[in-house]
Amino acid sequence: MDRDTRVYDDIFQLLPSEENPTPLVRINALAPAAGFDLFAKLEWMNPFGSVKDRAASFLIRSLEAQGKLSGERGMVEPTSGNTGLSLAVMASAKGYPMRAVVPDKVPLTKKALLKMAGAELDVINDNLCPAPGLGEGSIAIAKTHAKAQPDRYAMPNQYENTENTRAHEETTGPEIWRQTGGKITHFFASLGTAGTIVGTGRYLKRKNPDIKLIVVVPDEGHDVPGLRTPAELATTNLFEEDLVDEIVEVEGELAFRTALELIRKEGLLAGPSSGLIFEGARRVLSRDPDAVRGGVGVALFCDDAFKYVDSFIKHVPELAEDTAP
Amino acid sequence: MTDYANTDVLVTTDWVKQHMDDASIKLVEVDVDTKAYDAGHIPGSVGFNWETELQDQVSRDILSKEDFERLIGGAGIAPGDTVVLYGDHNNWFAAYAFWLFKLYGHEDVRMMNGGRQKWLDEDDKPLTVDPTPLTPKAYEAKDADLSLRARVMDVLKIVEAGDHNLVDVRSTDEFTGKVIAPPGMSETAQRGGHIPGAASVPWASAVQSDGTFKSADDLRAIYFDGAGVDAGKPTVAYCRIGERSSHTWFVLKYLLGLENVRNYDGSWTEYGSMVGVPIERGTAHARKAEPATA
């Protein structure tokens, strides 16, 4: 491995760490407050394309360390998105079987992506009058496989496994601290499993308790893939509300419009969750620009736009206009 | 604190674990997700598919007596056996099967409190993918007890007379007519709203966050004090296709001990598609759903 020439022995050497951080890129044209440096942390520069590479690699490493993975004994995980893709690619490259339990409502392209990565799919109808407090169906089925066939499956369980938060405490947090020279004053992230905000937040607050941790969430009924509202957080055990300074709710629709602004004005190919997080950061910072002058913010951009073209078209219908001769 | 009106119809997961090897105890899993049983089930249980095994495959109806006998006998269950039902989604379809067993006169039917999820969440409760060996038995059912079932003609008479409690157990949005069915459902109706005079008590009001039923006192407060169900009157419960209402039917009849409770299994997919029947919309009689979790 030679980081200077960027020559690596295998793809795993690209996984992020304090020495090999994902880039921070300054927001310029869309800067929300004069005298405040807001940076986007480009998590799509991770080797498998999203912030979830961090949790997924820690989850796999931990199962490996416990001797739970082999050519015969693989993983089962409820996932429709980035964690599944990341786990599936890594599992395939390492020779472990991977079974992804996916709700039927997940778009075909995402299911196909998992299969492209070598995962076996278990598609279930998750949507039948979901009731408050019930475990999501896909989580229950994945747990069932792991419990009924422990010799075939280990379950990483990103929603409960503290390796998820540890990944961010040991990588995302230290990276940001070093990249900003300890000057960070605001950190913006969203909520899926809550691993990012809790892990990164813990590290940053240890370094400087005055750093503001701000969670941006979509409103009820949103359609932003991978994100949850606080009300939907029953699914995860990892959230620590006391750690967070502020929760900002943003209309889910704006995730798509704002992502387009980032693409067109900053050259950042932001996916919808990045759009939402940036919108939240913009609101918080423009509320009282004088109060944040001189500060440094980092907004975590989870992944890029490519996987979400269908969602963009659905929410921004004019994207489909004038696309035929 | 008072107990449920019938305590013998409900068993705990621990009880099931202790008794799962008893030859006269027959465990039956019925899930909304028809793949769940194959993914893993309680050792010794049989699984019924609600779509292909618990309803007539030609006309829209419950199983005929002959089909019920064939299914139950084929599963190795004898009329004198104790049947313990469990399933996903807080026992929705387990409750539907319970109703069917009672309709055809099976004496000893019980429900595992908390259902499949509770069993799954408890570390000491095993699951297997091994098929359960079955020895078919000759099963003779009783004639259908139609006092447990409401048909649309009964419901129309009730609407006119106003002499029953009508309990709508669907979500508030279905009750008010904002949606006809939850998103993504293939079974739907032509119109949204509810049967005139119905009280809205979403099924989930009856369960706690771990999927077990609320206490008798809490249930009484919800159905009698909150929703105005009059214990002195006969009651009909309905939902969209008759499975969630089986759950509430079980609560009202067995846990609260109401004498006369019927499940309207045709439910909204039938009523909401009838020509010329009265429909009410909006929030009249609506009662806010109590979420299963805080």
Question: What are A181's two structure tokens?
Answer: 């020279």
B175 and B258 in a single domain? The answer is yes
A173 and A28 in a single domain? The answer is yes
Q: Answer yes or no: is B292 within a domain.
A: no
At B182 the pLDDT is: 77
Q: How many domains does chain A divide into? A: 2
B161 and B85 in a single domain? The answer is no
Q: What is the CATH number of the domain that holds A60?
A: 3.40.50.1100
B132 and B166 in a single domain? The answer is no
| pLDDT higher than threshold 80 for residue A125 | no
Q: Do A145 and B88 touch (CB under 8 A)?
A: no
Do B116 and B13 contact (CB within 8 A), yes or no? no
Structural domain ending residue among the three candidates A90, A125, A154: A154
Compare CB distances from A140 to B120, B207, B291 and report the shortest one's residue: B120
A34 and A57 in a single domain? The answer is no
**d(C-alpha B63, C-alpha B72), whole Å:** 11
**CB of B211 less than 8 A from some CB of A:** yes
Bridge partner list, A1: none
A277 and A145 in a single domain? The answer is no
B100 and B185 in a single domain? The answer is no
CA distance A102 to chain B (A): 13
A200-218: average pLDDT: 97
Q: Answer yes or no: is B91 within a domain.
A: yes
Question: What are A180's two structure tokens?
Answer: 């900003």
> In chain B, whose CA is at the least distance from the CA of A123?
B35
> In chain A, whose CA is at the least distance from the CA of B32?
A128
A81-109: average pLDDT: 91
Structural domain ending residue among the three candidates B118, B145, B172: B145
A211-238: average pLDDT: 83
Sheet holding B199-200, edge to edge: B199-200, B165-168, B235-238, B261-264
List, as ranges, residues 107-126 from B with C-beta within 8 Å of A. Answer: 116-117, 120, 126
pLDDT along chain B (294 residues), means of 10: 88 97 96 89 96 93 96 97 95 95 98 96 96 95 97 97 96 91 79 96 91 95 96 96 93 97 97 97 58 37
At A127 the pLDDT is: 53
Q: Answer yes or no: is A60 within a domain.
A: yes
**Which tens digit of pLDDT belongs to each residue from A10-30?**
999 999 999 999 999 999 999
A247 and A196 in a single domain? The answer is yes
Q: What is the CATH number of the domain that holds B229?
A: 3.40.250.10
Q: How many domains does chain B divide into? A: 2
At A136 the pLDDT is: 64
**CB of B206 less than 8 A from some CB of A:** no
Q: Do B39 and A105 touch (CB under 8 A)?
A: no
Q: Answer yes or no: is A146 within a domain.
A: yes
CA distance A135 to chain B (A): 8
Q: Do B292 and A124 touch (CB under 8 A)?
A: no
CA distance A148 to chain B (A): 5
Chain A residues near any Cβ of chain B (below 8 Å): 105, 122, 124-125, 127-135, 137, 140-141, 143-145, 147-149, 234
Do B42 and B127 contact (CB within 8 A), yes or no? yes
Cβ-Cβ pairs closer than 8 A, A with B, add up to 77
Q: Do B40 and A128 touch (CB under 8 A)?
A: no
What pLDDT band is residue A193 in, cutting at 50, 70 and 90? confident
B134 and B193 in a single domain? The answer is no
List, as ranges, residues 51-80 from B with C-beta within 8 Å of A. Answer: none
A118 and A139 in a single domain? The answer is yes
CA distance A302 to chain B (A): 28
**d(C-alpha B67, C-alpha B48), whole Å:** 13
Q: What is the ipTM of this complex?
A: 0.84
Antiparallel, parallel or unpaired: β B235-238 and B261-264: parallel
**d(C-alpha B81, C-alpha B175), whole Å:** 39
B139 and B75 in a single domain? The answer is yes
A305 and A227 in a single domain? The answer is yes
Q: Answer yes or no: is A91 within a domain.
A: yes
Structural domain ending residue among the three candidates A154, A183, A201: A154
**d(C-alpha A279, C-alpha B289), whole Å:** 33
A225 and A103 in a single domain? The answer is no
CA distance B67 to chain A (A): 27
Identify all chain B residues contacting A133, using CB atoms and an 8 Å cutoff: 204, 207, 209, 211, 291-293
**d(C-alpha A85, C-alpha A101), whole Å:** 12
A141 and A72 in a single domain? The answer is yes
Top residue of B34, B49, B120 to mutate, by most chain A CBs within 10 Å, is: B120
**Which tens digit of pLDDT belongs to each residue from A49-85?**
999 999 999 999 999 999 999 999 999 998 878 999 9
Q: Answer yes or no: is B281 within a domain.
A: no
Q: Answer yes or no: is B291 within a domain.
A: no
At B239 the pLDDT is: 95
B127 and B193 in a single domain? The answer is no
Structural domain containing residue B155 = 149-271
**d(C-alpha B284, C-alpha B280), whole Å:** 8
Q: Do B120 and A147 touch (CB under 8 A)?
A: yes
> In chain A, whose CA is at the least distance from the CA of B130?
A148
Q: Answer yes or no: is B70 within a domain.
A: yes
Compare CB distances from A133 to B120, B171, B291 and report the shortest one's residue: B291
Q: Answer yes or no: is A17 within a domain.
A: yes
A187 and A307 in a single domain? The answer is yes
Q: Answer yes or no: is A261 within a domain.
A: yes
Running DSSP on this structure, what letter comes out for residue B231?
T
A307 and A217 in a single domain? The answer is yes
Q: Answer yes or no: is A98 within a domain.
A: yes
B141 and B153 in a single domain? The answer is no
B40 and B121 in a single domain? The answer is yes
B120 and B163 in a single domain? The answer is no
Structural domain containing residue A88 = 52-154
Identify all chain B residues contacting A160, using CB atoms and an 8 Å cutoff: none
A117 and A216 in a single domain? The answer is no
B61 and B136 in a single domain? The answer is yes
Q: Do B292 and A132 touch (CB under 8 A)?
A: yes
A105-131: average pLDDT: 80
pTM of the predicted model as reported, rounded to 2 decimal places? 0.83
A104 and A218 in a single domain? The answer is no
Please give the positions of B annotated as active site: 239
Q: Answer yes or no: is A224 within a domain.
A: yes
Q: Do A131 and B292 touch (CB under 8 A)?
A: yes
